[in-house]
Amino acid sequence: MKNKKTLIIAITGIVVAFSFFRTFRHLDLSRSGSRINGILVSRVIDGDTIELSDGRTVRYIGIDTPEVREKKDNDWIYKPMPYAEEALAFNRKLVEGKVVNLEFDVQKKDIYHRVLAYVYPVRKGNFSNGVNIEDRMINLEMVRQGYAMIYTYPPNVKYAEQFLKAQEEARKDKKGLWAELEDGVIASSEAEKHIGLIKIVKTEVMDTYLSDKVLVLNCRDNFKVAIFRNNFSLFPIEAARSPDSYFRNRTIQVYGVLKEYKGSNEIIVNHPSQLEILR
């Protein structure tokens, strides 16, 4: 009887401690400064998103991977883009069930209340003066191995140049998703056949439209390229100041997810690396 009572007390203590730990860690984000160390990854959601043991979702800063799910009406269905499952598997291999450190940038959460972070797995059994030893940054490794594309969204641009360099090398070596993309460039006349997929599109800019929110490049075959104002600072000054003289009648190559919007096919560009002026 005494042993049973002791066991019940012990279990109760563990439950209380666990609840306290979850609550503490959840509230700790706003007071965490630039980092939180030593958190367990309980689940990998996709190539750029993970779930922590305290229930929070973390979105990797600076990168974007092919989606494994598609929203249909009000539900999400499992419909992986090409290379989405490979990106998920690689991310899972790197962090699932492992302890990680989180490094923050200017913004710590996005509009979906996900934590935004650079993620570093901790090497087991390696300590130096009581501080755990970090392995390579997962965000950067996903880009370096061709499982992710860079996704620069100011003001979280601390490592933007490192991401760009890693992507340039992955493209040059045709690693991961880049092998199919580089070998499968399409004309804008073919864009409609590839809605929802990541593609490299070659086209010609006919004219431009600039509003308070967005710059639109109107191209051949009812194809458009959209650049939102919050990303203008990443592009040459002339591109936003005099877009018509900068882009009009130029042949360009642009990559990204093809979408249908108001009767046109388009790609949203978040970084200059997505758009190349050929001539």
Sign of CA dihedral 268, 85, 83, 265: negative
Annotated catalytic residue, options 59, 103, 144, 266: 59
Annotated catalytic residue, options 67, 103, 141, 204: 67
Unique residue bearing structure tokens 């598997």: 89
Choose among 181, 269, 254, 190: nearest CA to 222: 190
- Give dist(CA 53, CA 97) in Å, integer: 9
Annotated catalytic residue, options 56, 86, 103, 114: 114
Q: What is the DSSP string of 1-28?
A: -HHHHHHHHHHHHHHHHHHHHHHHHHHG
In this prediction, residue 125 carries a pLDDT of 53
CA 217 to chain centre: 24
In this prediction, residue 244 carries a pLDDT of 94
Active site residue 114: yes
In this prediction, residue 100 carries a pLDDT of 96
In this prediction, residue 10 carries a pLDDT of 54
In this prediction, residue 44 carries a pLDDT of 97
Say whether 134 sits in a helix, a strand or coil.
strand
- Give dist(CA 266, CA 248) in Å, integer: 17
Whole-model pTM over 0.85:
no
189 in Cβ contact with 220 (< 8 Å) = yes
In this prediction, residue 77 carries a pLDDT of 85
- Give dist(CA 279, CA 276) in Å, integer: 9
The tens place of each residue's pLDDT in the chain, 279 residues long, gives 555 555 555 555 554 445 444 444 454 565 557 899 999 999 999 999 999 999 999 999 999 999 998 877 778 788 889 999 999 999 999 999 999 999 999 999 999 999 999 999 997 655 444 445 667 899 999 999 999 999 998 999 999 999 999 999 999 999 999 999 999 999 999 999 999 999 999 999 999 999 999 999 999 999 999 999 999 999 999 998 999 999 999 999 999 999 999 999 999 999 999 999 999
Sequence letter at residue 235: F
